């Protein structure tokens, strides 16, 4: 029964991608194998934790080699939809490895974790917390990347945090979790040494076009 459940959840991930119009071809076999490895473990066990980190590492490599925002989004969507418990780790790894795709990664990550948890019947509080955790991970990673970039300034670092916040708010599934996302973004940015990117109550906006290192 356990194995059937794991296999079904992988099929669910692929089905949700297909229903969202995402092509499956962009998901490399290594990602599919890493997802299956996580699903073969007992949730919360040391083996599961190790497998989730291994999955995040595989995602980092795959996203960096993906070559496009669309492919990056598809890879992140597949992984988080199948293993939502690893969403924050996957997001951190992906943004760090491929900062040029930060916007696509963040939007896909928030949308995927909310959609996956809602489909599993998770409580609204759990979904809100997951959206906040993913946003926080993306902001911290983007701020770290921008801080390390040559010529980074306080303004560019703040812009990186704002860019990620807007990307999180732009996720179609994020509409009911705006407050949690904004609070998480502001807290993460401040903790990472950047200015808070958005005032409380900020509505979803289009992505920033400020020319900074992350995109």
Least confident of 10-14, 134-138, 153-157: 10-14
Distance CA 201, CA 182 (A): 7
For residue 3, the model assigns a pLDDT of 40
Report pLDDT digits (tens) over 173-188.
999 999 999 999 999 9
All residues at 6 or more sequence positions from 59 whose CB lies less than 8 Å from its CB, including other chains: 31, 34, 75, 76, 79, 90, 93, 94, 97
Q: What is the mean pLDDT of the chain?
A: 84
pLDDT (0 to 100) of residue 91: 98
Q: What confidence tier does 204 reach under pLDDT thresholds 50, 70, 90?
A: very low
C-alpha triplet 191, 195, 197: angle, nearest 5°: 105
Average pLDDT over residues 59-74: 95
Gap between the Cα atoms of 168 and 54, Å rounded: 25
pLDDT-derived band of residue 193, with 50, 70 and 90 as boundaries? confident
Mean pLDDT of the region 197-210 = 46
Confidence check: pLDDT of 214 > 60: no
Domain ranges of the chain: 2-191
78-132: pLDDT as tens digits:
999 999 999 999 999 999 999 999 999 999 999 999 999 999 999 999 999 999 9
pLDDT band for 6, please (50, 70, 90 cuts): very low
Name the residue with higher pLDDT: 44 or 198: 44
pLDDT of residue 195: 64
Burial 57-69 (b: 16+ CB within 10 A, else e): ebbbebbbebeeb
Q: What is the pLDDT of residue 166?
A: 94
């Amino acid at each position: 029964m356990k194995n059937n459940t794991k296999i079904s959840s992988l099929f669910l991930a692929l089905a949700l991608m297909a229903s969202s119009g995402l092509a499956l071809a962009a998901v490399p076999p290594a990602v599919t194998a890493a997802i299956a490895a996580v699903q073969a473990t007992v949730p919360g066990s040391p083996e599961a934790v190790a497998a989730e980190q291994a999955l995040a590492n595989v995602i980092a490599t795959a996203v960096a080699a993906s070559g496009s925002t669309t492919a990056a989004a598809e890879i992140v969507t597949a992984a988080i939809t199948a293993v939502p418990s690893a969403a924050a780790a996957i997001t951190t790894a992906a943004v760090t490895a491929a900062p040029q795709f930060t916007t696509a990664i963040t939007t896909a990550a928030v949308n995927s974790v909310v959609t996956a948890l809602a489909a599993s019947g998770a409580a609204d509080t759990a979904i809100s917390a997951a959206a906040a955790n993913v946003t926080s991970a993306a902001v911290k990673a983007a701020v770290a990347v921008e801080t390390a970039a040559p010529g980074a300034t306080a303004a560019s670092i703040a812009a990186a945090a704002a860019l990620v916040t807007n990307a999180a708010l732009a996720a179609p599934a994020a509409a009911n979790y705006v407050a949690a996302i904004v609070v998480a973004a502001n807290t993460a940015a401040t903790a990472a040494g950047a200015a808070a990117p958005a005032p409380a109550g900020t509505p979803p906006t289009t992505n920033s076009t400020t020319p900074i290192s992350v995109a």
